Chains A and B, each alone.
Chain A
Amino acid sequence: MAAIEVRDLVKTYVLSETHRVEALRGLTLSVDKGEFLSVLGPSGSGKSTLMHILGCLDQPTSGEYRLMGRDVARLGNDERARIRNEEIGFVFQSFHLLARASALENVELPMLYGAKRPSRDERRQQAAEALEAVRLSDRATHAPSQLSGGQQQRVAIARALANRPGLLLADEPTGNLDTRTGREILDTFARLNSERGLTVIMITHDRQVARYASRSVELRDGRILTDEEIASNGASPGA
């Protein structure tokens, strides 16, 4: 079953009456549940725009978008916020951790919003489990400034997992990390993908990084240029 179904997606930014930018020009894509997809492309290829629309942070100008079978292309702000809360976990290039909160408090953040609103104890416990999943239980009380870059990104991944979403969206997750640490993060994604069946979509401009996924899509000028399965996926975690 498809986790994501996108058809003829168009996003046009109107900058002025004479100047419009067509970031996406009729993109069609389908991602199955449990896939690990990388979206590759140079800057200006439309990959960030795609990420925003897939992450329900933005609406397409036209086209269809079904997330977990639900049509989400035309939802309002608050409904999209709810989808983001329940279905999507975000991992950003610059981590976006609250500097003055502990790792545990950062992971709790998504649980403060949405429909479920677990109690404080449930939150604590769920956040601890998420930290356990990224192997950071021993750093729960540390502030982000006391953690290494890789550890910070793992806290961010734990936060993305906190509400147990079906989809993990990572935007250049290794962009601020050195190669070795970056590989650690990519291994974490691969593990979560294979162990939990989590659908992972990772956006990157780095071909090496893109090869960690099981499938890679390359964008150029708002359209899909290539779409290929990566056979050597199984070898990457051990590399």
Chain B
Amino acid sequence: MPKRIPVNRDTIQRLVREMPAERRTAVETAFQSLRRYPLRTALTLLGLAFGVAALMATIALGRGAQEAIRDQVRAAGLNVIEITAGNYRTRGERPIGGVEAPARHGAALPPGALERLLRKIEPVALAHPENDPMEKHDHPTAAERLGDSAAGLGAAATLTSDDAEAISSVPGVAHVASGIHESVRVFAGDRRWFTRLHGTDVDLVEIRRSFAMQHGRFFSSGELRRSSQVVVLGSVARDQLFGQDEDPVGREVTIWNQTFEVVGVVVSTNWMNPGAPGDDEFDAVYTPFTTVHQLLNVTNLNSITVTAASSGRVTEVSRAITDLLRERHGIGETQADDFTVTTQASEVLGKGLHPKVAETLAGNIPNLERTTLAQLASTLERSSRTMSVLLLAIALVSLVVGAIGISNVMLLSVRERIREIGLRMAVGAQTGDVGSQFLTESVLLGAAGGVLGVVIGAVAAVVVESSFGLAVEISVVAGLISFLVALLTGVIAGVSPARRAARLDPIVALGSE
């Protein structure tokens, strides 16, 4: 008994001393073995590398797709809130006390009520020259471009730039753009075009996610401050004034007998809304609102366009803005708003409807919007989660396929080298030596396949992006994940062959032919 303890201590010390050497031997031996079978090593490597490359490329594509979806949603303007001066509604539909109160017009209309409403509303349509049905126009009328309900909006002089300033500090507001809108005749040489003029803010480019500068730039904050006579043309207006795809930057147009310098052209990046004559965004020209104020000698705004920081907060933000403006305008509890807050949802729902019907609908919108936007947000979230799960599944599949590949090759290699294993054991390799050699080989294959796969995957992603025009986002994280998956594959795949090799009986192994 007294003998055993020193032996144990000695053994432990010796083991500790030897550990690095053993690991070194395992790595060296594994490297040698891999080098001695270059074809097999290369094929295994390629198999794993393509799996990892697929994973890498899929992550890049998936993330690109997610980004693209998010951009499209933003471009669709779901987080845009439009505040227009004036209120065509006779009484405020805003449910007092917020969310619980049901909309007043929310209930189903009694039979015949719709017709009665329509008859009553008829005289409201004012005798604007554009509304004369006998009149021939060389341009789309305001009603055509905006719809009946919107055509009368913005006439009241109740919104100011100070309101816009105040709104910009409401929590959840990302961007604010003042707007003053006029219908104008724009002259360029002998051509003329009747279009919308938007006096606006530099933030508009941020708000209209579908805006892209085809030529030049948007006007600057300096030009806004100086009320410069600069103009940005919508692509449709540019087509009419200068010809298809011309670059008019630096040339001049005349509006209100004033000369404006063209500084840029905006086009749409949203395939759902490519820009067409009569629309409000690309058949339009943009100038600083300060310039319009100065030239027309006014101070009011027709509208203020706001974006919420996220689409889920639109209802909350629009309510906060309503409260703020009511307070600023000194509107009492029982009085109607002197402005209208419209969100994308209410606009979509009210489009093409008679004002009174739209109004009825609008009463329901706070409730409706709450659900739809919440639903939309959760749908988006769900779809991105689905995407993540899909990616995970692909990662798992490629892990399994890669692991099976390596495992197969390693098992084959154990069988093929059974005599070699027997010999190594005969000359003194312990079970751990043999096991760690094969495990190390497998891990080395995994690591090398991982590196190769990440490189191939990144290249493939770039190629896919450039040749198919798909959005791709290659990230370090994706590369790291792919590499780790490959390494893990190597470890998992190596376990069973390594155990099999280590458990061989040297006599049997040596005797096998």
Contact = CB atoms under 8 A, between A and B. Distances in A.
B11 to A, nearest CB: 10
Contact of B37 (A55, A81, A100, A159): A100
A210 B388 CA distance: 74
A163 B428 CA distance: 10
Contacts of B18: 115, 117
Nearest to B433: A113
A43 B14 CA distance: 43
Nearest to B37: A100
Contact of A112 (B25, B420, B506, B507): B25
A105 B37 CA distance: 15
A86 B510 contact: no
Interface in A6-65: 52, 55, 57-58
Contacts of A57: 426, 506-507
Contacts of B432: 78
Chain B interface secondary structure, helix, strand, loop or mixed?
A: helix
Interface in B1-48: 14, 18, 21-22, 25, 28-29, 32, 36-37
Contacts of B430: 77-78, 81-82, 113
B428 A110 contact: yes
B423 interface: yes
Contacts of B433: 112-113
Interface in A108-164: 109-110, 112-115, 117, 159, 163
Nearest to A118: B21
Nearest to B506: A57
A110 B431 contact: no
User: Which interface residue of A55, A113, A159 has the most chain B CB atoms within 10 A?
Assistant: A113
A96 B32 contact: no
B412 interface: no
Contacts of A110: 427-428
B419 interface: yes
30 contacts: A52-B507, A55-B426, A57-B426, A58-B507, A77-B430, A78-B430, A78-B431, A81-B425, A81-B429, A81-B430, A84-B427, A85-B427, A85-B428, A86-B428, A96-B419, A96-B422, A96-B426, A98-B420, A98-B423, A109-B423, A109-B424, A112-B29, A112-B429, A112-B433, A113-B25, A113-B428, A113-B429, A113-B430, A113-B433, A163-B427
Interface of B: 14, 18, 21-22, 25, 28-29, 32, 36-37, 419-420, 422-433, 506-507, 510
Closest 4 CB pairs of A and B: A85-B428, A100-B36, A110-B427, A113-B428
Given A78-B431, A112-B433, 8 more contacts: A86-B428, A96-B423, A98-B420, A110-B427, A110-B428, A112-B28, A114-B428, A115-B14
